[in-house]
């Protein structure tokens, strides 16, 4: 087991990952603000995510962007008021839901911003090559799989 001999949380890989993500989010927030595109970094992530799916609805979006329903709803309301997204009725598992659709105005923001975000990400990984990034993706997948598997076992103990 990794980091089992670490005495303190700040010495673990979990702390390192958390710290990296905090810094990346801060840099992303700063980058989006500097572009003056009319949305926050959170709103941009939502727009970009909606643009990737034809069947996006709030619960699915909340899971993908890792935000609770109330935060997701708040972001969606702002984007809808700005005319960047629209809601259309549909069904998922025989339940009525609002499908989230990006408007042409919202798509323009995504299309204008994506090349700058790709450059931003490229700039972050100047000391990491493509092979190392692939290894990082694989390790991330394994970590997530173990986390899901082990959290499932923890939930079985509570039954």
The fraction of the chain above a pLDDT of 70, given in percent, is: 92
CA angle 132, 136, 140 (to 5 degrees): 170
> Is residue 158's pLDDT more than 60?
no
Residue with tokens 């450059």: 119
Query: Domain boundaries in the chain?
Result: 9-124
Q: What is the pTM of this model?
A: 0.80
Q: What is the CATH number of domain 9-124?
A: 1.10.10.10
Of 138, 123, 140, 109, the residue nearest 45 (C-alpha) = 109
Confidence grade of residue 1 (pLDDT, cut at 50, 70, 90): very low
CA 98, chain centre distance (Å): 20
Asked if 155 contacts 148 with a C-beta cutoff of 8 angstroms, the reply is no
CA 141, CA 112: separation in Å to the nearest integer?
A: 30
What DSSP assignment string belongs to the chain?
A: -TTTT--SGGGSHHHHHHHHHHHHHHHHHHHHHHHT-SS-HHHHHHHHHHHT-SS-BHHHHHHHHT--HHHHHHHHHHHHHTTSEEEEEEEETTEEEEEEEE-HHHHHHHHHHHHHHHHHHHHHTTT--HHHHHHHHHHHHHHHHHHHHHHHHHHHHT-
The fraction of the chain above a pLDDT of 90, given in percent, is: 60
Across the range 108-125, mean pLDDT stands at 91
* Amino acid 152: pLDDT: 61
Q: Which two tokens stand for residue 4?
A: 């089992």
CA 87, CA 79: separation in Å to the nearest integer?
A: 11
């Amino acid at each position: 087991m990794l980091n089992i001999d670490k005495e303190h949380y700040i010495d673990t890989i979990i702390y390192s990952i958390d710290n990296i993500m905090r810094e990346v989010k801060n840099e992303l927030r700063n980058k989006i603000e500097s572009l003056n595109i009319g949305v926050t970094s959170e709103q941009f992530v939502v727009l970009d995510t909606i643009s990737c799916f034809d069947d996006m609805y709030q619960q699915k979006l909340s899971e993908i962007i890792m935000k609770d329903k109330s935060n997701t709803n708040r972001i969606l309301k702002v984007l809808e008021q700005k005319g960047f997204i629209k809601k259309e009725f549909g069904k998922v598992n025989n339940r009525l839901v609002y499908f989230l659709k990006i408007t042409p105005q919202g798509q323009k923001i995504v299309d204008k911003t994506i090349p700058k975000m790709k450059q931003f990400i490229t700039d972050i990984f100047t000391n990491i090559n493509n092979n190392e990034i692939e290894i990082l993706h694989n390790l991330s997948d394994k970590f997530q799989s173990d986390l899901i598997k082990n959290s499932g076992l923890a939930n079985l103990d509570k039954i």
